[in-house]
């Protein structure tokens, strides 16, 4: 079923925040959601209230060929979560080398996840071009790219137009049709933010999924290790994320009749191909 990657050519733009709250909103809209953290910062779990000392995860274990089902965490939100796992430079280099040698270490379990009926797999990617984004982009139904309404983000629009940050080359260029953009931290009271946002709206046209205002409630939710909807459901940013979720849900295959608002449910038990 669908794979949504949340990625961006630039760091610190709100990818993880959007991935977490989008996963929550899609789940509340009735889709079973598995959120997979592909960023060694291992921060997605913090939005779901997982204990900071819980260092286990999926991506960092890949060289040992783990069964991903055993690493899924059920969260209070109902979203199933695959944390990245805590890592260090040696483990990160080992993972990069293992994936270079054998991309199937990641691709086989991801295909098994995507074979789960009705499941939306939502992946939070590290900033910029990355090995994992390069591997996942060909499987993705949608690459949600986050930009800030500032000059640096505007300067990166050619990266999005060309698909270079997806991996480069003709193959990446073929994936650009699946790229959609979310503008984050838009400040209506700032002349620069408004001007950049308006220019990006004109340039991106229908590729723009929506915009999220800069809202203190977003940072407060992270500080409380809670999802925005749980802490401040009527905050301007929560309403913006709701609008974006409806836009994304419209691009997804319709929910099977048997699936309602629920957790991921029992996972299939057949073993993952090594
Ligand atoms: N709409 C918003 N309003 C206010 N603060 C926001 C908003 N969106 C994100 N932030 C804040 O911006 C910071 C960066 O967010 P986040 O960690 O989600 O970015 P990221 O793109 O995942 O970063 P990285 O590239 O390091 O993975 C966080 O402190 C977050 O609380
Ligand atoms: Mg992040």
Distances (CA, A) of 68 to 5, 28, 133, 217: 18, 24, 19, 33
CA atoms within 13 A on the CB side of 102: 13
Mean pLDDT, residues 33-56 taken together: 94
- Greater confidence (142 vs 167) lies with 142
Residues in contact with 134: Cβ distance below 8 Å, sequence separation at least 6, in sequence order? 166, 167, 172
**What is the predicted pLDDT for the residue at 272?**
37
Ligand showing the shortest atom-to-Cα distance for residue 130: 1
**What is the predicted pLDDT for the residue at 154?**
86
Residues in contact with 22: Cβ distance below 8 Å, sequence separation at least 6, in sequence order? 4, 6, 122, 144, 241, 244, 245, 248
The whole-angstrom separation of Cα 38 and Cα 241 is 22
E strand segments, 99-238:
120-124, 142-148, 179-186, 208-213
The whole-angstrom separation of Cα 218 and Cα 228 is 6
Domain definitions of the chain by residue range: 3-251
Mean pLDDT, residues 57-73 taken together: 96
Q: In this structure, which residue's CA is closest to atom 2 in ligand 1?
A: 214
**Structure token pair of residue 240:** 């913006």
Instruction: Supply the pTM of this predicted model.
Output: 0.92
Among 111-115, 140-144, 153-157, the minimum mean pLDDT is found in: 153-157
The whole-angstrom separation of Cα 2 and Cα 141 is 6
pLDDT at 257 over 60: no
Mean pLDDT, residues 115-130 taken together: 94
Atom of ligand 1 nearest to the CA of 215: 3
| 80-82 sheet: strands from edge to edge | 73-74, 80-82, 33-37, 120-124, 3-7, 142-148, 179-186, 208-213
Mean pLDDT, residues 80-95 taken together: 95
Q: How far is the CA of 215 from the centre of ligand 2 (A)?
A: 18
Q: In testing the pocket of ligand 1, which one of 11, 14, 130, 184 has its CB within 8 Å of the most ligand atoms?
A: 14
Buried-state track 184-212, b at ≥16 Cβ within 10 A, e below 16: bbbeeeeeebeebbeebeeebeeebbbbb
pLDDT at 237 over 80: yes
* pLDDT tens column, 177-200: 889 999 999 998 999 999 999 999
Confidence of residue 167 (pLDDT cuts 50, 70, 90): confident
CATH topology of domain 3-251: Rossmann fold (3.40.50)
Confidence of residue 256 (pLDDT cuts 50, 70, 90): low
Our answer on whether the CB atom of 14 is closer than 6 Å to any ligand 1 atom is yes
pLDDT at 266 over 50: no
* pLDDT tens column, 10-32: 999 999 999 999 999 999 999 99
User: Do 110 and 1 form a contact (C-beta atoms < 8 A)?
Assistant: no
Our answer on whether the CB atom of 47 is closer than 6 Å to any ligand 1 atom is no
Ligand showing the shortest atom-to-Cα distance for residue 183: 1
């Amino acid at each position: 079923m669908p794979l949504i990657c949340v990625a961006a050519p630039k760091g610190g733009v709100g990818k993880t925040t959007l991935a977490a709250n989008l996963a929550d909103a899609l789940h509340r809209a009735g889709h079973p959601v598995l959120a997979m953290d592909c960023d060694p910062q291992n921060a997605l779990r913090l939005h779901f209230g997982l204990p900071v000392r819980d260092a286990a995860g999926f991506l960092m274990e890949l060289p040992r060929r783990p069964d991903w089902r055993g690493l899924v965490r059920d969260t209070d939100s109902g979203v199933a979560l695959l944390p990245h796992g805590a890592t260090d430079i040696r483990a990160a280099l080992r993972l990069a080398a293992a994936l270079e040698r054998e991309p199937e270490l990641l691709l086989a379990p991801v295909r098994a996840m995507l074979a789960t009926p009705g499941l939306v797999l939502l992946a939070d990617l590290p900033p910029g071009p990355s090995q994992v984004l390069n591997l996942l982009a060909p499987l993705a139904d949608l690459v949600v790219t986050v930009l800030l309404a500032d000059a640096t983000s505007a300067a990166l629009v050619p990266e999005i137009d060309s698909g270079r940050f997806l991996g480069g080359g003709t193959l990446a260029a073929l994936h650009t049709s699946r790229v959609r953009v979310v503008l984050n931290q838009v400040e209506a009271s700032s002349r620069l933010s408004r001007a950049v946002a308006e220019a990006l709206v004109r340039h991106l046209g229908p590729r723009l999924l929506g915009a999220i205002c800069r809202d203190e409630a977003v940072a407060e939710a992270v500080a409380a290790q809670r999802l925005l909807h749980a802490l401040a459901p009527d905050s301007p940013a929560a309403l913006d994320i709701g609008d974006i979720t409806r836009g994304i849900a419209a691009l997804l295959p319709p929910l099977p009749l048997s699936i309602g608002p629920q957790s991921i449910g029992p996972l299939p038990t057949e073993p993952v191909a090594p």
